[in-house]
Chains A and B, each alone.
Chain A
Amino acid sequence: MTAPPGPPSRPHEFLSAQVRWHPLEIAFWLATLLPFYFFPSYLSLASQIAIAALFALSLDLILGYAGIVSLGHAAFFGMGAYTAGLVSKWGWGEPLSLLVIGAAAAGLLGYATSFIIARFRHLALIMLTLGIGLLLLEAANSASWLTGGADGLQGIAIWPIFNTFDYDLWGYTAYTLSLAVLFAVFVATRRLIHSPFGLSLRGIRENAMRMPAIGAPSEQHIRTVYTISAVMAGLAGAMIAVTTSTVSLETLSFERSADVLVMVVLGGAGRLYGGIVGSIIFMVARDQFSGINPQYWLFWIGLLLVLVVMFLPNGILGGLAQLKWFRRSRP
C-alpha cells in the first residue's frame, strides 16, 4: 500500500510541479499543426481561431486569475486593430512591427484605465468596463475622418513578412503567423501564472482585502495584470488587421466583448486552455451555422450560456477535470 503523493511541502516545489509540461499539452500543440496537412481549405478559419484564442487568453488572465469581470474587453482589441491599421495606412506596413505597435497602444490604454479598474469591484466594475468599451466605440464611430466610421478603415497596406512571405488566398502565411504568436504568448502566460505573481493574482481573486495583509499589494497587482491583458488583447487586434487587412467598428463592439466572454466561460475560466478550447468550439460552431440567420445564432449562444452556468460552472475543461477526479476517487 503506497500513500498517494501528498501536496509538495515547499512553495517552489509546488510551483515547479505546476510548470512541468503535461504530455497532453504537447499533443495539443502538435495537433495545431494538423490543419496545414489535413484541412488546407480551412486555414483562414484556423487563423481566425488562433486570433480568437489569443484574445480569449488575454481575457482569461484577468477574469479567471484576477477575478475582474469585464464586459468591454473589445476596447483593447479594437485599439490594437485600429492602431495597426492606421499606421499601415500612413505608409509603414511591416507586419511584425505593426503587431508590436498595436499591442503597445492597447497597453497604454490598458495602463491608463487600470487606475480606474483597480479601485472597483462588483457592479460598478462591470459597468465601468462596459462604459469604457462603449465610449471607445462611440469615439471611433464619430471620428470618421480618422477611422472611416461605419464603413471601416480604408487603405490598409501590409507588406510581406520579412519581405518574403506574402498573404496567400489559402491563409498559409496567416495561420503560420497567428499560430506562432499564439504559442509564444501562451508560453509567456503560462510562465506568468505559475510565478509568485500569478499565485498572488489568484489570492486577489479569492479575497482582495486580505492579500495586502500578507504583503501583496492588490491594487498594484491588478493594474499590472490588467495592462498585460490589454497588451495581449491589442496584439490579437493587430493580428486581425495584419492578416485580413480590414479593420471595422465590429472590432470594438459589445458583441465582440460578449463573444470572447462566452468563449472563456465555455472552455473554463481560470484554466490556461479554457479560452483556447472555448474559442475552437465557438468559432467552428459559428462557421458551421453561418448559413442561418445571425439572429437565431444568438438564441443558441444564449441557451449555451444558461446551460453552462447551470450544469458546467467551470466550463468544459472544469467538467472534464471533475469527471477524471470522480473516476479516480472510486475504488
Chain B
Amino acid sequence: MGPFVAVMFDGFAYGMLLFLISVGLSVTLGMMNFVNLAHGAFAMLGAYVTVTLMNGYGWTFLATLPFAFVVAGLASVAFEQTLFRPLYRASDLDQVLLTIGLVFMAVAAVAYVFGTESQPIHIPDYLRGFVTVGTANFAVYRIFLVAVALVVSVLLIVGLEYTRFGAQIRAAVDNQRMARGLGIDVDRVFAYTFALGSGLAGLGGALAIEVVGLDHSFALIYLIVMLIIVSVGGLGSISGSFVAAIVIGISDTAGKYYFPYLGAFLIYLVMIAVLMWRPAGLFGRR
C-alpha cells in the first residue's frame, strides 16, 4: 500500500506542476484561439531566471520565484504586442509556424548562453527530505509544490468568479464579439491574461527544475506535455486543465513506475483516447 500511495502522490504533485505551467495556455487559447507554442519558452525563461539569480547572484530559492513570474510575464507581453497580435486572425498553420520558430530560437539561444548541460540548483534544506506517514514517504518538496499549486488555483478560481476582471475574461472566452459589443476592451483583457498565464508558466518552470531538471530542450519537451493537457482538458477551462493535469501527471508517473518499458507511451495513448471520445476535451464546449 505504501508505494502505491507514494506513487499516486508523486503523480499528483507532478500534475500540479503541469497545471501551473499549462493553465495560462488553456485560457489564452480559449480566448483568442491563438495556438501559442511559445508558451513553453516562457516557462523555460522563468526557470533560467531562477537559475541565474541563484547560481550567479546567490539569491535564495524562494526569493527568485516572484522574479521568475514577473520576468516571464513581462517578456510575454512584449511578444504579444509585437509579434502575436497581427496573427490572431491568421490560419492555424501560420500561428504554429511563427510560435514554434520562436521556440527553436529560444532553445538555440539558451544553448548558446548557458550551454547544453543540465543546470543544477540547490534548494534550501527545509524543502528537502521526506515526511513519513505510515509506510509511505512523501517528499517535502512535492508537498510544497502541491501547496503552491493549490493556493494558485484557489486564487485563480476566486479571481475569475468574483472579480470584475474575471468576469471580463469569462465573457471574452465565451463570446469575443459579444464582449466587444458590450464595451469590454478584449485586447487589453487579453494582454493581461496573457501576461498572467505566461507568468504562471515561468513560476511553474522555476518550480520544475528540482523535479524534472533543466536544460536547453525544456521548452520543446514540455511543450508537448502542455499541449496534451490543454487539448485533453478543453480550451479555456481552468477546471479542465486542473483535471487533465492530474490525469496526465498520475498516468505518466504511475506508467513510469509500473510499466517502465512503455515509456511515454501511456500519456500519448490517454490523449488520443480522450480526443477520440471528446474532440473538444473533457471540459471543452467547442
Contacts and interface: CB of A to CB of B under 8 A. Distances in A.
Nearest to A113: B272
A313 interface: yes
A135 B272 contact: yes
Contacts of B227: 123, 127, 130
A39 interface: no
B160 interface: no
Interface in B108-135: 108-109, 111-112, 116
Interface in A55-69: 63, 69
B264 A124 contact: no
Given A63-B93, A127-B231, A295-B111, A306 B101 contact: yes
Interface residues of B, number: 46
A15 B86 CA distance: 36
A126 interface: yes
Contact of B105 (A134, A138, A303): A303
B275 to A, nearest CB: 5
Say which size band chain A's interface belongs to: 35 or more
A265 B280 CA distance: 28
7 contacts: A128-B272, A131-B271, A138-B265, A258-B100, A299-B105, A301-B104, A302-B106
Contacts of A301: 101, 104
A131 B268 contact: yes
Nearest to B104: A302
B83 A296 contact: no
A309 B96 CA distance: 10
Interface in A40-99: 63, 69, 71
A138 B263 contact: yes
The majority secondary structure among interface residues of chain B is: helix
Contact of B97 (A116, A119, A127, A261): A261
Contacts of B228: 127, 131
B104 A309 contact: no
A259 to B, nearest CB: 11
A122 interface: yes
Interface in B134-192: none
A298 interface: yes
Interface in A271-308: 293, 295-299, 301-306, 308
Given A131-B272, A138-B265, A296-B111, A305 B93 contact: no
Contacts of B35: 123, 126
B261 A123 contact: no
A134 B224 contact: yes
Contacts of A127: 227-228, 231, 271, 275
A69 B94 CA distance: 10
